[in-house]
Amino acid sequence: MEIKTTLTPQKIAFLRNIGKNPYISDEELVKIIGYRRKGKLTKLRNLLRRAGYISSPYYEIDYGKIMKNNFQIIYALIVFEGRYEYIEEILFLMKNCYRFYPLMEMRYCMCMTSFFVTDEKTFIDTLEYLREKGIIIQYTLFRNNFRWYRRYPEFSYDEDHSLFIPNFENLFEDTEIPNLEYGTYEDPLSFCDLRVLMHLGVRRDSLSEIQRYEYHKFKNSFSYIELSKSYRKLIEKGIA
């Protein structure tokens, strides 16, 4: 069912503020928007979620803070013949493959995959072995040693046309770029910390859902308090 919604000043204020600070409290949002009760804020959030304006939070994991050894994330554009399921199974046997995206088929099949790499030579040797055996045809690597920077869209009132007019002034002036380098290793994480971090990495941040998932899938019995402490620790240390 298609849901259409008009962006009222209250909705725009909500979207602008969670775009600037995803961790803003409900108490702050209620004051900013001008509501008297949190219940209205909950209804507003649910409406915007159903309309597709917001989704589960995206957590940018700072892997530098949880790893002692040097690492990099490498994206591989891989060309092959055969079934996607077969190639996906082969690549995930490498253990360091964590994302697999099938791409449009042309003359050959292609996929974009992501790898955590601590030994680049061994990683490339493995891909070369797959190429020599005819499992893949060719590959192109793209290295990423920095975190992602995301800028959320601006929302405006109907009568505010300024945001729709491009500003071409000062396009070539230097601009301040945020520090996107990974952090450095600090302290070891507990088993509960690591399990929560795994869920945040796939945009599962409901602690009650994590609790049920861990028990039914892995028989890990975590209390809600344990999960809450781990979540706060990961956020406060800037790991997630």
> How do residues 72-127 score in pLDDT, each as one tens digit?
999 999 999 989 999 999 999 999 998 999 997 778 899 999 999 999 999 999 99
Quote the domain boundaries for residue 93: 69-144
- pLDDT score of 2 more than 50: no
Q: Within a domain: residue 82?
A: yes
User: 199 and 231 share a domain?
Assistant: yes
Instruction: Match 């602690």 to its residue by tokens.
Output: 207
119 Cβ contact list (under 8 Å, min separation 6): none
User: 45 and 73 share a domain?
Assistant: no
Q: Three-state SS for 117? A: strand
User: 74 and 107 share a domain?
Assistant: yes
Q: Within a domain: residue 169?
A: no
Higher model confidence: residue 157 or residue 37? 37
User: 40 and 87 share a domain?
Assistant: no
Q: What is the distance between the alpha carbons of residues 84 and 111, in angstroms, rounded to a whole number? A: 8
CATH number of the domain enclosing 93: 3.30.70.260
Structural domain count of the chain:
3
Grade residue 59 by pLDDT with cuts at 50, 70 and 90: confident
pLDDT value of position 160: 57
Q: Within a domain: residue 2?
A: no
Q: Within a domain: residue 30?
A: yes
Q: What is the distance between the alpha carbons of residues 211 and 215, in angstroms, rounded to a whole number? A: 6
Q: What is the distance between the alpha carbons of residues 134 and 26, in angstroms, rounded to a whole number? A: 56
pTM attached to this predicted model: 0.70
User: 96 and 39 share a domain?
Assistant: no
